[in-house]
Structure 1
Amino acid sequence: FIDIVNFQHSAGAWNFFLMPLGFGLFIITMIAEVERIPFDMPEAEAELVEGWWTEYGGMRWGLLFAAEYMRVWAACILCTVFFLGGWSAPFAGLMGNLGVVGVVWNDLIPGVVWTILKSLFIFLIFVWARASLPRVRTDQILEFGWRYLLPLSVVQLAITVALRLWFYDPAGLGSGSAWDGGSGFFWLVPLVVFAISMAIFVVYSIDEDKDPPSRPYHVHTVEPAGTHVAGSGHGGQRVGKTGMR
């Protein structure tokens, strides 16, 4: 964890700007890992019988509820360390040129305060997802994971390898210019990657097809009870409400 935070601070850019796709994938998987809505399969908070939590009440239920939010907060801290620079102050290099303001920003505010503030921002994403998104079925989760999350993870891995091989400058690691792409502008590569990622996200977020998507599997038609004639097979006679046909 320390090496990850120090690398982001020394390189001059958070991993969030270099890997926005990875950030989104990590948030989605963490929501599923801590079993929050819309991936609350074991607990089923939206159901009348709230999963295995229905066996508990009073203080025991309160402890389980508190443990769930502790898991959420731990996921937020992990996301802060991996993508948001951990305990380092945001824009430390730019704020350091502002005299007294830079001293207060970089030196007087403890790192634990920055960690809590960044984690709180991630926590708000968890709260927004819980309040806005409906619960999904198990087959929808599996389809979403195999069809989208896994291929996008491979794409993110390829992008990370390309950035590391062709755009990373180890000589600028200490001065915060490791991602300048040889241009002298510290944030060139992060800004370009982030802008392209956001443009692709906006384009694919515009749903021009207003028709609801079909189910990912074929639904077999089942004959209503009492309408099948023995020995006739699927193509035989049926008894409807109006008689034999």
Structure 2
Amino acid sequence: MGNLTGKTALVTGGSRGIGRAIAERLGRDGARVGVHYNGNADAAKETVAAIEAAGGSAFAIQTTLGVPGDAQALWEAFDAQADGLDILVNNAGIDGIREPIGGTDEESFDRVVAVNAKAPFFITRLGLERLRDGGRIVNISTGLTHGFRMPELIAYTMTKAAIDSFTSVLAKEVGARGITVNAVAPGIVDTDMNAAWLRNDETQAHVSTLSPLGRVGQPGDIADVVGFLASADSRWVTGQWIDATGGALL
């Protein structure tokens, strides 16, 4: 297999979009992948099947994030199928309410914070008990924290800025164990979540102009960056926010 043979990975939100691409990439590299999902069991089964069809090993685990006890429930489900962890990818997230500050109510704000910031924090906190020395933590951020300010995504952007800070501070704490912690920041990526507004010729053409590379980002573009960070080749990279926007912030 690949350079992750013998390793075990967990990808939250791993059944669709960027998460699925990450899960499949880690599986191709030899890791046994825990594919976490919220409610779409069919998508999780398809992802597991795709990894296995490519010669890898995977299992699905269901947990609803953003509710009390979510991290504990996730790890209980994980422990039932795996013994220890080498790679944790905090990918699960929601864009939440799409309103500027004046239209953002407290309940909607609390929901996006619970899923995007609180859940990764406590998933990681409990995960460190299982993560072997020399392990990898990869957090999925967004290019919005460094550019393209969008008032209608103010709450979402705040949660991802929290992830950026979490990444750099945690890297200092766990470095003594040889664990690296990095954040990967996608730009606009062609996923099902963006399909409603992105998948038309006019929008595709416009979005393509945002990158010097002249195209729209694909889930595999992000997964390959995560694949590097999950590998031994990234051993001297930690605490970093990695721009994976295709140069859209230049």
**Is TM-score (shorter-chain normalized) higher than 0.5?**
no
Bigger proportion of residues as strand: 2
TM-score of the two chains, using structure 2 as the length reference: 0.26
TM-score of the two chains, using structure 1 as the length reference: 0.26
Higher-RCO chain (CA-CA 8 Å, sequence separation at least 6): 1
Look at both structures and tell me which one has the larger radius of gyration over its CA atoms: 1
Bigger proportion of residues as helix: 1
